[in-house]
Amino acid sequence: MQVTVIVPTYNERENIESLVTQLLSLPVAPRIIIVDDNSPDGTGAIADRLAAEHNGRVEVIHRSGKLGLGTAYLAGFRQALADGADLICTMDADFSHHPSFIPAMIERVGAGYDLVIGSRYVRGGGTVGCTVGRKLLSWGANLLAHLLLGLQARDTTAGFRCYRREVLAGMNLDAIRASGYSFLIEMLYRVQQMGWRVGEIPIIFENRRQGRSKVSRQEIAKALITVLRLACLRIVDRRRHSTSTPS
């Protein structure tokens, strides 16, 4: 079974090399796709060196500038599918998502799930070193996702995920409109709508020690718009469904 881990990067010079080393030493022998958006700190050049050192196991997609987390995932998904990956994982480069949780995520997929989330909000999960503001943001985003979109997973904004190939291959990836962080919510919404089985395993999310978060006010505003757009879509879909279902 081929496992591919997609790591989007923007200014992750301090993290990327040790992350790649730790990922490559996992027993599941993953391939890694780094999607770098021309990071000003030179992350892309480090990624190229790692790709040369680990030929065939590390691949780099270079994009011209900061085009957003969501479209970075999409570029990685397309490449992973083309490369024949069976399982496609996504994670941050900053060790908030520790590689050591990946085997448990894969095991859970094997237990019959189509998407497994590395979750802060199931029993045994949690966060370390996060500010109150950050916790409130995450809490608020999850509350809206549950109330307005009916998402069932507890951690709907987590970027630590493992998808079965069929989930991504069966989805019209071009139809996903969110390009930034809210891509994660839109993706989960679509996965749930399609009836795939979503599972969660507990993880301890450690706030990044190196570098800075790229979540901005603009990203938060865009996420709110995404949730409202999907909530409207959900209402329209429900109406359509109720008028087309014979009573």
Q: Is 12 in the site for ligand GDP (CB under 6 A)?
A: yes
Please say whether the beta carbons of 86 and 1 come within 8 A: yes
- Give the footprint of ligand GDP on residues 153-212 (CB under 6 A): 159, 208
Minimum gap (Å) between residue 9 Cβ and ligand GDP? 5
Please say whether the beta carbons of 33 and 7 come within 8 A: yes
Please say whether the beta carbons of 185 and 227 come within 8 A: yes
Both tokens of 50, joined, read 């790692």
Residue of 169, 33, 50, 142 whose CA lies nearest to 89: 33
Minimum gap (Å) between residue 174 Cβ and ligand GDP? 19
Q: Is 155 in the site for Mg ion (CB under 5 A)?
A: no
Count of C-beta atoms within a 10 Å radius of residue 69:
25
Minimum gap (Å) between residue 209 Cβ and ligand GDP? 12
Minimum gap (Å) between residue 2 Cβ and Mg ion? 26
Count of C-beta atoms within a 10 Å radius of residue 131:
9
- From the list 8-16, 45-53, 96-104, 134-142, the region that binds Mg ion by CB under 5 A is 96-104
Q: Is 94 in the site for Mg ion (CB under 5 A)?
A: yes
Task: Give the x-and-dash track for 124-143 against ligand GDP (CB under 6 A).
Answer: --------------------
Q: Is 26 helix (H, G, I), strand (E, B) or coil?
A: coil
Binding site for ligand GDP (CB under 6 A): 8-10, 12, 35-37, 66-69, 72, 92-94, 96, 159, 208, 213-215
